[in-house]
Amino acid sequence: MKATTLTFLCLTTLAAQAHASSPDAWAAFDRAVLASCTKASSLKNPQPVGNTAQFDDRVGYTALLLQGQYPQKHMKGQQGTELCLYNKKSKTAYVTEWDSIRPTIKAQ
């Protein structure tokens, strides 16, 4: 085997290992996403709904759905839903109201 081929194989193996994350690293990342998203939320006592949605690295974002109560008096503690997009590169959370994700209940 030529030295250049061996070098290429070694570098490829190292690169593949560098991209693999341990369960502890994923757990730490999920905690960072949750902390950033809840801090950016306008809801009172925001809680995650389900797990994060991991987008491909080419997209650069992780999504998390949050639920909590609207803090405004006129909302009378009504439940609200927000979608949080966490930018992996800048480690910044962006939140928008997303109550339309929940089905509306029609009075009968």
pTM: predicted TM-score of the whole model, two decimal places:
0.74
pLDDT digit string, tens, across residues 64-82: 999 999 999 999 989 999 9
Cα→Cα distances 35→17, 32, 103, Å: 28, 5, 27
- pLDDT, residue 41, reads 97
% of the chain with per-residue pLDDT over 90: 70
Cα→Cα distances 4→1, 7, 10, 11, 68, Å: 8, 5, 10, 10, 57
Give the residue-averaged pLDDT of 26-33. Answer: 96
Q: What backbone phi and psi angles, to 5 degrees, belong to 9?
A: -65, -40
